Structure 1
């Protein structure tokens, strides 16, 4: 009896390179979503949740079009957020990232991620398969939480658009990271969203 959580970052956003906060999927993002749907088509999902932001909601709709048995539901705990600010342990090289982010934003992000962990990383009875369609930082926080890494280490974890991360828990055991940012379903030209030189 295993509780599985499949985490997918949304597909590529249209005009993302122009710095828009949110927007619809690009044509490439739609294709990424179609391919992750094909990849997951044999999984008997008990629940599918997605961030309410447009790019995640559209990814969920594309997946649902390919997997009509699922009924994706928005969940505000999966919103994009910044879960911490600079701390004593955060390397100084990250200071520029936090320059435009307020304390209020990081406090809200931290509270959101605390609630998200309490909502999703809770053992459910039987074999459970959950799909979460969300954002880079949210997935990074969950992976950091499962690995028990220091809080600032979420910044060192990156997920490609429609990359697949899988978490699992068996009865009496801790959560484990089964796979991280699996891109086997995406051809090289569709691997977007990672830092340059990391698209392998």
Structure 2
């Protein structure tokens, strides 16, 4: 009996290249969402959760159109957030990133991710398959937690738009990483959202 969690980063949104926080999916983002749905079409999903932000909600709606047996539900625990600030262990190279992040934002992000881990990384009974459509930093935090890596390491984990990460837990065993940022379902021209040097 295994509990599977499929973590998907939302599709590319129209305003991503203009510095705006949220917006509807771009044409590429809609295609990414459709291909994620195709990739998951053989998975007996028990639940689909998504961030309330528009780019994640629209990704979830497209998945539901192609997988009509699922009914996506929003979860505030999957909002985009910054779960830590600078720590003594954080490399100085990351300091500029935190220059515009307030202490209140970090406190809220930390509390949110603590609640998210308590809500989702809890062993369910029987075989369970859950899909979480969320954001890069949230997925990175889940992965860091599963790998028991230092807190700052979430900053080094990046997912492409529509990338698929899979974690699982068998009864009595720790959580396991099955796949990270799998892009096999996306053609090269749809692989967006990663640093340019990572896309070659």
Q: Runs of 4 or more off by more than 3 Å in structure 1?
A: none
TM (normalized to structure 2)?
0.99
- Which secondary structure state, in structure 2, belongs to the residue aligned with residue 14 of structure 1? coil
1:6 aligns with 2:6: yes
> What is the alpha-carbon distance in structure 2 between the residues aligned to residue 135 and residue 177 of structure 1?
18
> What is the alpha-carbon distance in structure 2 between the residues aligned to residue 86 and residue 195 of structure 1?
22
Hey, what does 1:50 align to over in structure 2? 50
- How far residue 196 of structure 1 moved from its aligned partner, in angstroms, is 1.2
> What is the alpha-carbon distance in structure 1 between the residues aligned to residue 121 and residue 199 of structure 2?
29
Q: Deviation per CA, 1:108-161, whole angstroms, max 9, x where unpaired?
A: 000000000000000001000000000000000000000000000000000000
- How far residue 15 of structure 1 moved from its aligned partner, in angstroms, is 2.2
Hey, what does 1:128 align to over in structure 2? 128
TM (normalized to structure 1)?
0.99
- Is the 8 Å Cα contact of residues 4 and 168 (structure 2) preserved in structure 1? yes
Hey, what does 2:157 align to over in structure 1? 157
Hey, what does 2:189 align to over in structure 1? 189
Hey, what does 1:77 align to over in structure 2? 77
> What is the alpha-carbon distance in structure 2 between the residues aligned to residue 22 and residue 12 of structure 1?
10
> What is the alpha-carbon distance in structure 2 between the residues aligned to residue 16 and residue 117 of structure 1?
27
* Superposition CA RMSD, Å: 0.5
- Is the 8 Å Cα contact of residues 15 and 22 (structure 2) preserved in structure 1? no
> What is the alpha-carbon distance in structure 2 between the residues aligned to residue 81 and residue 49 of structure 1?
16
Q: Give the number of equivalent residue pairs.
A: 200
| Mapping 1:25-104, distance limit 5 Å | 25-104=25-104
**Unaligned 5+ residue runs, structure 1?**
none
> What is the alpha-carbon distance in structure 1 between the residues aligned to residue 64 and residue 106 of structure 2?
32
- How far residue 199 of structure 1 moved from its aligned partner, in angstroms, is 1.5
